[in-house]
Structure 1
Amino acid sequence: MTGFSGFDASRMLSFDLETTSRFPKEARIVTSALITIDGSHADTTELLADPGVEIPEQAQQVHGITTDYAREHGRPHDEVLEQTITAIEDAWSRGLTLIVFNAPYDLTVLHTLSGGKFQVTGPVFDPFVVDKVKDPYRKASRKLTNICEHYGVTLGNAHEASADAMAAARVAWKQVNKVFPDLKKMDSDELMEFQAVGYYESQTNLHKWLASRGRDTSDVNFSWPMQG
């Protein structure tokens, strides 16, 4: 990632997926939203995929897209995957920062579906992780809806990929420019390390808490911004 300067909230690509499963190594893409913000210009691309499998009822209840609708109107799944990865890699090549809310989910989906070809080669800013690391003792849900409310950001249709991506971008802007301005002083490597270390420590504490209560810890992931 050498050559990238610190996070410039006026130059970013905000990215979000809606999928078939909450488990990133099982999920297939239903929608992919990519919002490029470069100075005063913003460009939104939302791609609908036919995931090639039945969309479970539970997933339909989250994003509202049925199997029949995706089959009729969606593009071939692998085309959407390839276009998404190409857009992200192109953004990194142009020096943009990738904004992903809860990055280990979305980026692991891309990594898994691409057979490991997708790799993180540029800076990632994760508003969820930043909030969790910077304000660890706040007793509140950290779902996107709650995070938006906390930072005074308007969220449109929650779980609609473009709305979620835009909200994540706005939260990231507020975090850097209004709430945690020290983040602007970090170069990209420092910012990545800050998030990765903070995520690992937070997940370690979660693992210990669950284990102390005899609860299942198998879903606790320690790797950021992508699961191994």
Structure 2
Amino acid sequence: MTNTSTGFDATRMFSFDLETTSANPLEARIVTSALVRIDGRSVDAVEHLADPGIEIPEGAAKIHGITTEKARAEGRPHDEVLAETVQQIKQAWADGLTLIVFNASYDLTVLRQLTGDFTVTGPVFDPYTVDRIKDPYRKGSRTLTAMCEHYGVELGNAHEATADALAAARIAWKQTRKWPEISRMNGGELMEFQAVGYHDRQSDFARYLEGQGKDPSTVNTSWPMQG
């Protein structure tokens, strides 16, 4: 894993977001992929529209606004978008940037499921997971929209991939100001902090479900990818 010796630098980030065909990361295919490179004052954002090669369910289209017809007419081949997304993430890690992913266990699991061999080779900062660990008893939703309101971050068009990626990066920046000890963690420490904290929060949730007489076996406890 690269970039493990120095603390997290919130001025050098690569924020990433997918909009997909399914809420299940083991079934999802990419519809849009947003990649936002933040290096000091330089912000370079690109968004790829993919033809997922399957029908986009109505429920998914209502969330992100991309219909099957639009994806087929205007989207690039799915495997091209997938390959370019992975290549740019790997390049960002090679360049010493931290990958910002809101709810990383979803998006990174999608990449692994689609490629069959995607691995994490650099640091990941997941604002959703950090929020759950550092502020576990706060009431209310932890959706991206809700967290933007909580941290005072402008979201723009929710569920539009570039807007979501930019918002996640801004939340990450605000979190390092609220909890400066995070910015002093090196890459390995940051990853361990999130993986252990995620496991603990999810295990608590599984025990809660079990206490309610519900099946806890579907609760994922692995971060940053499922399984």
TM-score by length of 1: 0.97
Match of residue 133 from structure 2: 133
1:104 aligns with 2:80: no
Cα distance in 2, alignment partners of residues 2 and 92 from structure 1: 7
Between the two proteins, what is the percent identity of the paired residues?
Answer: 65
Cα distance in 2, alignment partners of residues 53 and 62 from structure 1: 17
Match of residue 41 from structure 2: 40
Match of residue 75 from structure 2: 74
Cα distance in 2, alignment partners of residues 214 and 54 from structure 1: 36
Cα distance in 1, alignment partners of residues 3 and 182 from structure 2: 18
Q: Please state how far the C-alpha of 1:217 moved relative to its aligned partner.
A: 2.5
For residues 17-36 of structure 1, what are the structure 2 equivalents within 5 Å?
17-36=18-37
Is contact 2:2–2:123 with CA below 8 Å preserved after alignment? no
Cα distance in 2, alignment partners of residues 53 and 215 from structure 1: 33
Is contact 2:2–2:121 with CA below 8 Å preserved after alignment? no
Q: Please state how far the C-alpha of 1:218 moved relative to its aligned partner.
A: 3.7
1:62 aligns with 2:47: no
Q: Please state how far the C-alpha of 1:2 moved relative to its aligned partner.
A: 4.9
Match of residue 199 from structure 2: 200
Cα distance in 1, alignment partners of residues 47 and 218 from structure 2: 30
Match of residue 167 from structure 2: 167
Q: How many positions carry a matched residue from both structures?
A: 226
Letter in structure 1 aligned against 2:192? E
Cα distance in 1, alignment partners of residues 214 and 142 from structure 2: 21
Match of residue 189 from structure 1: 188
SS at match of 2:9: coil
Q: Which 10-residue stretch deviates more, 105-114 or 211-220?
A: 211-220
How large is the RMSD of aligned CA atoms in angstroms? 0.8
Letter in structure 2 aligned against 1:98? L
Q: Which runs of 5+ in 2 are unaligned?
A: none
Deviations 1:54-108 (A, max 9, x none): 0001101110100000000000000000000000000000000000000000000
Q: Which runs of 5+ in 1 are unaligned?
A: none
For residues 112-127 of structure 1, what are the structure 2 equivalents within 5 Å?
112-115=113-116, 117-127=117-127
TM-score by length of 2: 0.98
Cα distance in 1, alignment partners of residues 36 and 107 from structure 2: 15
Cα distance in 2, alignment partners of residues 30 and 154 from structure 1: 24
* Deviation beyond 6 Å, 4+ runs, structure 1: none
